[in-house]
Amino acid sequence: MPIKTGDIKLVAQTEDVLGEVPLWHPERKVLTWIDVLKPAFHAYDPATGTTESWTPPEKLGSYAITDSQEVLISGRNGMALWSPTDGALHRLSHPESDRPDNILNDGRTDPRGRFLVASMDKMLSGAKGRLWQVSGAKGTQLVQDKDIFLPNSICWSPDGATFYLGDSHTNLIFAHDYDVDTGAISNRRLFADTKGLPGDVDGSSVDAEGYLWNARYDGGCLIRFTPDGKVDQTLELGVTKPTHVTFGGPDLKTMYVTTARFRLPAEKLASEPFSGGLLAMDSDVAGLPEALYS
């Protein structure tokens, strides 16, 4: 049965060049996200309708929320803990230091508080990316070192036993077995071949029913996939470049979508006033609570 969603609203127009990684903070009740290229770090409070923005110390590919004022940032100079409010910065690791042409891209925290982040060659010259796991207990460890071109779509099934990783260059989304106790990843397999669908694979989130929602960059829509990788529903958004989707609000039934203005001509921007902003809509299916990095 198709999931019902309400009217799409523009809740913050931050004119992001490349808005990304919307995360709902379960304790602070705010929605945070980044502009990868400006760069910027934003926080939207739906209770007041206000948005605050800060400038991070470098361009970020992704980040993780924590139970403190700090965020774990995945940037051009590696992993660090950063406080937006006072600018304090504590460097942790630089996993791609041996590959100067690589940058860290999509990342997310697993149900046990480990952060998984994948890298890519910034010139897109080949599948030179790697997948890393970052934890307070074990530091930064290599998980996968091949077959990653332009990583996106990192998320988990409701029980944490399936890990998803997509590739925007090949338009494939892969599933893996995931051991939530140890963080071990195995049994990589194709989840969905999306080459015949609108746009390209970008950020994803899984809802409480185990269906994966994928933002289709340059495709203007979200696509909901069944747990076995079939297209269940397509939701048109009215913007060309949606980049990521997540669930928030007190009942996790508000869908938030980040968008981009990157390389959109002036006439397209004039006809798409929501581009570069944060979108929100009500949903009759809930999402999963966002894990905090520990």
DSSP 167-209: ETTTTEEEEEEE-TTT--EEEEEEEEE-TTSSSEEEEEEEBTT
Distances (CA, A) of 66 to 18, 23, 111, 126: 23, 11, 13, 33
Which residues are catalytic, by number? 202
Q: CA 280 to CA 294: how far, in whole Å?
A: 28
Using DSSP bridges, classify how beta strands 19-24 and 78-82 pair: parallel, antiparallel or unpaired: unpaired
pLDDT at 3 over 80: no
pLDDT, one tens digit per residue, over 76-91 is 999 999 999 999 999 9
Average pLDDT over residues 128-147: 95
pLDDT, one tens digit per residue, over 220-279 is 999 999 999 999 999 999 999 999 999 999 999 999 999 999 999 999 999 999 999 999
Question: In b/e form, how buried is each residue of 10-40, taking b as 16+ CB within 10 angstroms?
Answer: bbbebebbbbbbbbbbeeeebbbbbbbbbbb
Going from the N-terminus, what domains does the chain have, and what CATH number goes with each?
Answer: 9-282 (2.120.10.30)
